[in-house]
Amino acid sequence: MNVELEPVIGLEIHVQLKTRTKMFCSCALSFGEEPNTRTCPICLGLPGTLPVTNAQAVHFGLMMAMAFDCEIAPKSIFHRKNYFYPDLAKGYQISQYDIPLCSNGRLGDVRIHRIHLEEDAAKLVHEGASGRIHDSDSSVVDYNRGGTPLAEMVTEPDLRSAEQARDWLNLLRVTLRQLGVSDVNMEEGSLRCDANVSVRPRGSSELGTKTELKNMNSFRFVMQGINAEIARQTALVQAGEPVVQETLHFDPVTGRLSSLRSKEEAHDYRYFPEPDLVPVAPTEAMLERARTAIPELPAAREERYGRDFSLGGDTARLLAYEPQFGDYFEATTQEATAGVSPAVLANWVTELRTRIGASSDPAESKVTPDALAVLAALVTERRINASAGRQVLDTLVAEGGDVAAIVEREGLAAMDSDEELAGIVKAALEANADAAAKVRDGNAKAMGPIVGYVMRETKGRADGGEVGRLVREQLGI
């Protein structure tokens, strides 16, 4: 059988919420403290304790609902999801089941089925070579993470490739970061992503049998895992064999997938309503507080940069997804003189970003938006050439200062006399008569030694375009 197959992918994402305290108790969230030092009778599940829902986690949940255009349940409730495993001292996880806080939303071109609130489990550490439970010598448990607030997001199966999944996950990450609800760090586990993958004949509207991939803790691993699973399922289907519904474990060392367990069903968990918690019923005031807390989000900013500044796709996205650079770019547009286009300013901002690093804040660099705008203007007006401009930027990054003074001190001003440059071009043509003849005969590549001569004579201050123009003019072409 050799039909063309189409991958279908849906994601389940756990977002650790950046609250001060845990989901149902007042323990502070833990960031690598000594194991089992951030616990209390509630998050250890001791008998006789009562959980209380963290209002800030609900607030973050409402912000996410609004950012993703979800419907908000007037009264969502918590359930107990029962299972026996040492990462849960109570024997159940408090989660939401049939009435989640948010449903039917969207981010970009992916529909969001639901978002619900729950508590994180504790962290098990399997001691042994592979770090996996089956071949470890012993396992220890750290309850610090137990009870951390999570928002679990479930998408519809709207993604069609690993690359699309990665790009969407990146949009999700920058959006959550901008909302300020999470650290969204995959390596540290504050953003975790499981991928559901199936294949089907292209053009079919039915869904194939899916598998669920776990343990991919970076964007690269998500791509690798999904691609490996698409390849595995494709081979099975092409060979006429069935795909078995199961949960697969991604091994970051080998890039391989192995079967973790057969798929569990909801009834295995014996969900029942949590009797110790009141429903979450957002008031008008809570909704209003969430609404006003939402800043401009990356997708909207990207669109605005295209609309208001005519920035191209990649540049608009870069500045929108890294808002500290977007803010800085907008500051340069305030400072710049009329003749300097936003695209040119954006280009200089990306030059600055390359020098200081994407994770730095340009507002804290030694380069002020005003200085960058002045620099962009000098290059636009051809008062210095582009490579001199980059040299000025290097100096600005290292020590700050006044652009005009740097240009002066480093002798970077473009040749202001056309006659002087014309004279040097004339000398260059005489010194490279062979090359000049070739250029005259239509061999543009022969221009190299002529331009090289001019640049040497002018110490790089000549404008390359102007040199080319003068060469052609003097050769009569």
For ligand ADP, the closer CB: 211 or 395: 211
**Cβ burial, residue 124 (10 Å; 0-12/13-18/19+):** middle
From the list ligand ADP, Zn ion, none, partner contacted by residue 40 (C-beta under 5 to 8 A by kind): Zn ion
Q: Site size for ligand ADP, by CB under 6 A?
A: 15
User: Which residue reads 């691609």 in tokens?
Assistant: 227
For ligand ADP, the closer CB: 207 or 281: 207
Choosing from 196, 224, 385, 432, the residue that interacts with ligand ADP (CB under 6 A) is 196
What is the closest distance, in whole angstroms, from the C-beta atom of residue 208 to ligand ADP in the complex?
Answer: 6
Choosing from 81, 145, 177, 210, the residue that interacts with ligand ADP (CB under 6 A) is 210
Whether 467 contacts 421, CB under 8 Å? yes
For Zn ion, the closer CB: 93 or 196: 93
Whether 356 contacts 362, CB under 8 Å? yes
Distance CA 311, CA 376 (A): 16
Tokens of 330: 């907008």
Query: Number of C-alpha atoms within 13 angstroms, CB side, residue 373?
Result: 18
Distance CA 404, CA 399 (A): 14
Residue 11 contacts ligand ADP per CB under 6 A: yes
For Zn ion, the closer CB: 141 or 436: 141
Distances (CA, A) of 104 to 136, 161, 199: 42, 22, 24
Q: Which of residues 149-188 bind ligand ADP (CB under 6 A)?
A: 154-157
What is the closest distance, in whole angstroms, from the C-beta atom of residue 94 to Zn ion in the complex?
Answer: 13
Residue 260 contacts ligand ADP per CB under 6 A: no
What is the closest distance, in whole angstroms, from the C-beta atom of residue 112 to ligand ADP in the complex?
Answer: 9
Which residue type occupies 176?
Answer: L
- Among 5-13, 16-24, 82-90, 349-357, which window interacts with ligand ADP (CB under 6 A)? 5-13
Backbone dihedral angles phi then psi of residue 202, each to the nearest 5 degrees: -55, 135
* Three-state DSSP string of 246-273: EEEEECCCCCCEEEEEECCCHHHHCCEE
Backbone dihedral angles phi then psi of residue 307, each to the nearest 5 degrees: -70, -50
- Among 203-211, 236-244, 428-436, 438-446, which window interacts with ligand ADP (CB under 6 A)? 203-211
Residue 198 contacts ligand ADP per CB under 6 A: yes
DSSP symbol at 393? H
Closest CA to 172 of 154, 149, 146: 154
For ligand ADP, the closer CB: 65 or 376: 65
Whether 322 contacts 358, CB under 8 Å? yes
Which residues make beta-bridge pairs with 334? Answer: none
From the list ligand ADP, Zn ion, none, partner contacted by residue 467 (C-beta under 5 to 8 A by kind): none
For Zn ion, the closer CB: 38 or 353: 38
What is the closest distance, in whole angstroms, from the C-beta atom of residue 9 to Zn ion in the complex?
Answer: 36
Distance CA 107, CA 211 (A): 23
Binding site for Zn ion (CB under 5 A): 25, 27, 40, 42-43
Residue 207 contacts ligand ADP per CB under 6 A: yes
Q: How many CB atoms lie within 10 A of CB 132?
A: 14
Q: Taking CB positions, which residue lies at the least distance from ligand ADP?
A: 10
Residue 233 contacts ligand ADP per CB under 6 A: no
For Zn ion, the closer CB: 144 or 190: 144
Choosing from 5, 10, 369, 455, the residue that interacts with ligand ADP (CB under 6 A) is 10
What is the closest distance, in whole angstroms, from the C-beta atom of residue 174 to ligand ADP in the complex?
Answer: 21
Instruction: Catalog residues that contact ligand ADP under the rule CB under 6 A.
Output: 8-12, 154-157, 196-198, 207-208, 210
